[in-house]
Structure 1
Amino acid sequence: MNFTYMGRSFDDLSNGDSSGAFSDCNSDRSGEFPTGSSQSRRLLIACASDNSDELIRHLVLDLESCSIEEQKQAAMEIRLLAKNKPENRLKIAKAGAVRPLISLISCTDPQLQEYGVTAILNLSLCDENKELIAASGAIKPLVRALMSGTPTAKENAACALLRLSQMEENKIAIGRSGAIPLLVNLLESGGFRGKKDASTALYSLCSVKENKIRAVKAGIMRPLVELMADFGSNMVDKSAFVLSVLVSMPEARTALVEEGGIPVLVELVEDGTQRQKEIAAVILLQICEDSVLYRTMVAREGAIPPLVALSQSGTNRAKQKVRIPGRNLRQLFSGRPIGTTDVAFHFLFLI
């Protein structure tokens, strides 16, 4: 994201620094091989073998069996074949597994739905499969699983939607399918993995303006502020980076202030890690840019000393990223008019 301040355009800090905050959804964590069965032995052999084509063809046929138990077994084995051997992902998709797996996501059996969601997630780890999965109609069933599935199905659906959102054309479709409020709910009420997966998906989806609006309307600011305030949550960085892509919207800035975000951001500048200090400072700049009221609120929270300290101390990297001239900083927060050549408060972002 870019934003303009005093006639100059700056790259958002998150462009260069978010990779450490977010880890991609690499595969499901839904358990490993079943034990004590001929199927498990067959699957172990297939995963170790260079030739699993025959088994894959058989499993794809079983996905459309009249027996729910056979469908479960086939979906589970496909999930594990795709998880444990990357080269199988394209083979499974080419064998015709995608559409029947998507059908399973809409079934009423919770375990069968979970296996279907997770198999689709693992197939989506192959970039060549993403277009096929989206074109086969996976988005709406994944959103339904995000709404009503088991906790594991919800987490894996969030991951699968993240993978599909890495194709730019899918971001709007996912947002319009109702995913954003459900991801916000997972961010607020899910376990740690659910919160992590939801934040990562939201970070990707909210690069699109209409999804930012949906996220703000869904009440995303409250969980973001709460997670940023909880240093023990392991979610501070992720929440701050999600906030950084939203705060360019006036509605987002208003909601952030209403949810008590300014004191939390000031605390991050004071006591956070170096990366947290920098991203919090960027967000505070954007909050203050066009609002004398918000400047006053930020100043009253004691932000000026730690912001000045951030510009004058710390690592060379921090000094390069953040430069705050003290005289002009005071002028900005005093609310006095600022000339176009008198840059009151600015940050330099280096790619």
Structure 2
Amino acid sequence: MHPATVSPPPPNPPPPPTTTQTLDEITTLLCHLLPYSLSVKSFSTRWQIIRSKLATLKSSISEISDSPHWSENPLLQTLLPNLLSTLHRVQTLCDQCSDPSFNPGKLLMQSDLDMATGWLSKQIQDLDLLLRSGVLRQSNAIVLSQPGPGSAKEDLGFYIKDLFTRLQIGGIEFKKKAMESLLQLLSDDEKSASLVAREGNVGYLVHLLDLNTHPSLVEHAVSAVSILVSANDLSRKCVFEEGGLGPLLRIIESGSMGLKEKAAMAVEAITADSDNAWAISAYGGVSILIEVCKSGSIAAQSHAVGAIRNVSTVEDIRVSLAEEGAIPVLVQLLNSGTALTQEKSANCIAILASSGENFRELILLQDKGLQRLLQLLHESSNSDTVEHVLRAIYSLSASESASRVLSSSTSFIIQLAEIIKQGNIVLQHISASLLANLSMSDGNKGAISGCMGSLLKLMESVKPDGIQEVVANALVSLLAVRSNRKDLVRDEKSLMRLVQMLDPRNELVSKKFPLAVVSAVMGGGSQGCRKKLVAAGAYGYLQRLTEREVAGAKKALQRLSGNRLKSIFSRTWRE
């Protein structure tokens, strides 16, 4: 039996050329192609363009070879072989155009030459970007790892330039890794956003928001843009000026649910800057945001409402909001959205309600618009939400129909009194303004007599502007009820506070306000109220104010000093 024939092992494939060998081959080929292309007579115009591209490439390759760390850069391991392949194709085209016997067809050759020109342009652009970034002049060790906390700005800036270089000229894997590194940087260090805006190519990041881009890159780009616009004014302005608003709105309109949420977050942040808010109309953004409020996810809905609130400060956009049907959607969200969505909706409705009678009528015409606000006021424990609701109700109260409803609502009036007793100064101010404006029944006024002491305390506040006047007006309204006048003078602490405001030395309170309240206390002619005021020392202060000719003081003094009490006044003043 003959032994089986053994096949010889296959020869080992030759090792791939090194980056240095590839660069040397490119240099040699360029030195050959430049003079060779001069001899081509056909398609001379196109060859003139190609020759210009080859000359630019030769300059770039020379600059690369002069860079100290060019061979360590991983991007060149892809760029140089691709460039060498293109140059071989140019060599073939040059041979074909120089061969009289070769006849592929004029249109086909023109197309081939144009394609070659396009390839060369793209590779020139990539090499130029790599050279301008400066990464070839740094050790690769700096490039690969993210600088740690406390690193110098120069190192961090170089790292950002390298990330954007990889993002723009690398293959898909390079781009994905660069995006992941960028997101990691932005997530780990909030301050890095400003440096990214200055050192990175934010315009290219915005370019990646195109839905035709690779899906994973779009997702990463939306995340990065959302972080940038939320970080600070500089990075937000940079994204806006690079045209980020339009692509983000297109994503909200047509992207996946996850992308919609991130894009809506970014649009809300961009429109928070009033200088940017106007642009929402230029991209048809009003209708897009309203649609998200109707049918988007909970998160997207909240951000869309926030963006609508931001742009509602622009007069022209307010008109668009009304025309596009935003108001019924916002009213609906007052009671159906999340707590944050409710707050933003209430804020937006407050802005619209304060913008004019037309908007107030639109809000009131909606299905239980005012009732939904009152319900939210009753249910919400968030002070910001309560503030927005109160501002909206205050603006709506300018409407006669709304004022009638509010004036007759005992539960609402009692809630205002509770806010005056327990709320913060802003809520107290708005609540007092409402009490001063409403035409309440005596029964409702009597039901909230317990808040008069808090109102008097508020009248000593100097901020916010106008609070002393609205508090005085609210008190005068409540003191139209006899029982309330008696309650006030029985409260010694409140009575003393009122009288001390009459002291000319007390400069915190304009004297016209306590004078108005004192006159209201005496409005029913009650001798008991007069006696209490005199006993508290009001007579002496009124006399001093009269001597100084303070408006209203003389009349109040005359009402206080009736004939039957002259002896009491004299004795009290001497004492």
Q: Does 1:101 align with 2:292?
A: no
Query: Offset of 1:131 from its aligned partner?
Result: 1.7
Query: Offset of 1:132 from its aligned partner?
Result: 1.5
The structure whose Rg is larger is 2
Of 144-153 and 315-324, the range deviating more from structure 2: 315-324
- Write the letter of the residue equivalent to 2:244: L
Tell me the residue number matched to 2:526.
Answer: 334
Query: Offset of 1:66 from its aligned partner?
Result: 6.2
Structure 1 residues 273 and 179, CA gap change in structure 2 (3 angstroms): farther
Tell me the residue number matched to 1:75.
Answer: 264
- Counterpart-to-counterpart distance in 2, 1:197 and 1:328: 32
Tell me the residue number matched to 1:120.
Answer: 308
Does structure 1 conserve the Cα–Cα contact (< 8 Å) formed by 2:472 and 2:516?
A: no
Does structure 2 conserve the Cα–Cα contact (< 8 Å) formed by 1:142 and 1:161?
A: yes
Does structure 2 conserve the Cα–Cα contact (< 8 Å) formed by 1:105 and 1:116?
A: yes
Tell me the residue number matched to 2:225.
Answer: 42
Tell me the residue number matched to 1:153.
Answer: 341
Match of 2:450 among 248, 259, 263: 263
User: Cα RMSD over matched residues?
Assistant: 3.4
Structure 1 residues 264 and 251, CA gap change in structure 2 (3 angstroms): closer
Choose between structure 1 and 2: higher helix proportion: 2
Query: Offset of 1:157 from its aligned partner?
Result: 0.5
- Counterpart-to-counterpart distance in 1, 2:337 and 2:415: 22
Higher relative contact order, chain-length normalized (CA < 8 Å, sep 6+): 1
Q: Does 1:241 align with 2:425?
A: no
Tell me the residue number matched to 2:151.
Answer: none
Q: Does 1:210 align with 2:398?
A: no
Tell me the residue number matched to 2:500.
Answer: 309
Of 168-177 and 89-98, the range deviating more from structure 2: 168-177
Matched residue pairs, number?
Answer: 300
- 1:136-173 per-residue CA deviation (whole Å, 9 max, x = no partner) reads 21111111111111111011111111121222121122
Tell me the residue number matched to 2:324.
Answer: 136
Tell me the residue number matched to 2:374.
Answer: 184
Structure 1 residues 320 and 104, CA gap change in structure 2 (3 angstroms): same
- Counterpart-to-counterpart distance in 2, 1:243 and 1:210: 20
- Write the letter of the residue equivalent to 2:361: I
Tell me the residue number matched to 1:22.
Answer: none
Structure 1 residues 262 and 218, CA gap change in structure 2 (3 angstroms): closer
Does structure 2 conserve the Cα–Cα contact (< 8 Å) formed by 1:244 and 1:283?
A: yes
Match of 2:363 among 167, 170, 174: 174
- TM-score (norm: length of structure 2): 0.46
- Counterpart-to-counterpart distance in 1, 2:517 and 2:242: 65
SS in 1 for 2:411: coil
Of 98-107 and 211-220, the range deviating more from structure 2: 211-220
- 1:66-92 per-residue CA deviation (whole Å, 9 max, x = no partner) reads 632232233222112112x43221112
Q: Does 1:91 align with 2:282?
A: no
Tell me the residue number matched to 1:196.
Answer: 387
Structure 1 residues 326 and 130, CA gap change in structure 2 (3 angstroms): closer
- Counterpart-to-counterpart distance in 2, 1:271 and 1:88: 39
Alignment of 1:310-325 (within 5 A): 310-313=501-504, 314-315=506-507, 317-324=509-516
- 1:167-216 per-residue CA deviation (whole Å, 9 max, x = no partner) reads 21211221332333333333343312222222232232223232233334
- Write the letter of the residue equivalent to 1:170: F
Structure 1 residues 157 and 328, CA gap change in structure 2 (3 angstroms): closer
Does structure 1 conserve the Cα–Cα contact (< 8 Å) formed by 2:472 and 2:513?
A: no
SS in 2 for 1:49: helix
- Counterpart-to-counterpart distance in 1, 2:520 and 2:309: 51
- Counterpart-to-counterpart distance in 2, 1:328 and 1:204: 27
Task: List alignment gaps of at least 5 residues for structure 2.
Answer: 1-185, 189-219, 230-234, 529-553, 558-575
Tell me the residue number matched to 1:15.
Answer: none
Match of 1:250 among 439, 443, 447: 439
- Counterpart-to-counterpart distance in 1, 2:336 and 2:393: 19
- TM-score (norm: length of structure 1): 0.72
Query: Offset of 1:265 from its aligned partner?
Result: 1.3
Does structure 2 conserve the Cα–Cα contact (< 8 Å) formed by 1:199 and 1:239?
A: no
- Counterpart-to-counterpart distance in 1, 2:520 and 2:348: 47
Of 174-183 and 71-80, the range deviating more from structure 2: 174-183
- Counterpart-to-counterpart distance in 1, 2:397 and 2:413: 13
Does structure 2 conserve the Cα–Cα contact (< 8 Å) formed by 1:203 and 1:245?
A: yes
- Counterpart-to-counterpart distance in 1, 2:420 and 2:520: 29
Of 206-215 and 98-107, the range deviating more from structure 2: 206-215
